[in-house]
Amino acid sequence: MREKLSGKLVKPTQINKVMKTNFKLFLEEIIVEDIHVEGNELMISTQHYKAGSTKDSISTYFRAQPYTTSVSGVDAEIYSLLNYVSSDVSTDILKSLKGKGPYKVNPKQWESLLKQVKQHASVFVKRFKPDVIIYPKSSSPLVKQFVDQVHSAYPSAELLDERFVKKVIDAENLEPLINTSHPDWPKFAKDHPAEVKKLKQSLKTHVERGELELKKLYKPYLKFIKNFIELKDAYEVLERVMGANVLVVDDILSSGTTMAEMIRQLQEFEPSKIVGLTLFKVTTAQKSA
């Protein structure tokens, strides 16, 4: 590896020599532990000499303990491995890491960072010992890459995406939740009009509250309803999550809305414990210039 020192390319041995003689100057002269922009490329380094992010760079310094966050209305802790200061630059950096931004990402540098991510995520997940890892279904490769690192650090956990949560959150009315194409539906609707009315009222109440408590629904209704993972699998998920340690994983924590909604919905399944984990979180703290 070669780094820049006062505009000159130097070898790692020379960097070590500078560190021994003038560590303060080394910190001021070299940025070797952040994600920043040079031209149209992202430069990523995973050495650990500075500890905070700025509006122009995201620190890749990993602390001994992850950052913790409490989201209003959610009785669960959320942890994050790295933080960033919200700005136009950091937003474009994060978009680029998601594959949708203006900057090119060096594959080797990104792979090096992911190795560090796995190392530090493993400390957390081995302490929490999740039974189930759930993540948002997303087109962003960043989510899946982070989930893969977390899961590889604790492969015994079952991996699920949260499409069942999204469907409930996005449901504006109850009609999409009723599977009238089910072969038994016509006869059921004809023979049990009062039950159909109760079913629709029950679903309407759940949708208006922004929740769907599957365990409280009348079992015969389930075969006529679609939910998050199409209710034929609802009790399967209920069995996986109820009484389990559930880890909810996402790539970025900004407002916390997505993470909070996922946790709130999952708490209806009565897990033993539920916590969140993200790769990045927004912060107002900055390292000095």
Tell me the mean pLDDT per 10 residues along the chain, length 289.
38 46 52 83 79 87 83 85 94 93 93 92 93 81 92 92 48 56 75 81 69 59 48 57 91 84 79 94 69
Q: Hey, is 1 helix, strand or coil? A: coil
Backbone angles phi, psi at 90, to 5 degrees: -65, -35
pLDDT (0 to 100) of residue 209: 65
Question: Which DSSP state fits 137?
Answer: -
**Cα distances (angstroms) measured from residue 48 to each of 60, 64, 213, 234, 266:** 7, 12, 46, 45, 36
pLDDT (0 to 100) of residue 8: 39
Identify whether the C-beta of residue 62 lies closer than 8 Å to the C-beta of residue 116: yes
B/e letters for 148-184, b = 16+ CB within 10 Å, e = fewer, are bbbbebbeebeebbbebbbbbbebeebeebbbeeeee
pLDDT (0 to 100) of residue 255: 81
Q: Hey, is 236 helix, strand or coil? A: helix
β-bridge pairing 67-70 and 77-85 = antiparallel
Sheet holding 34-38, edge to edge: 57-59, 34-38, 41-44, 104-105
Measured CA to CA, the distance from residue 201 to residue 154 in angstroms comes to: 42
pLDDT (0 to 100) of residue 3: 40
Q: Which two tokens stand for residue 245?
A: 């340690």
Identify whether the C-beta of residue 56 lies closer than 8 Å to the C-beta of residue 68: no
- Which domains, ranges and CATH numbers included, belong to the chain? 31-162+238-283 (3.40.50), 166-227 (no CATH)
pLDDT (0 to 100) of residue 261: 77
Identify whether the C-beta of residue 162 lies closer than 8 Å to the C-beta of residue 135: yes
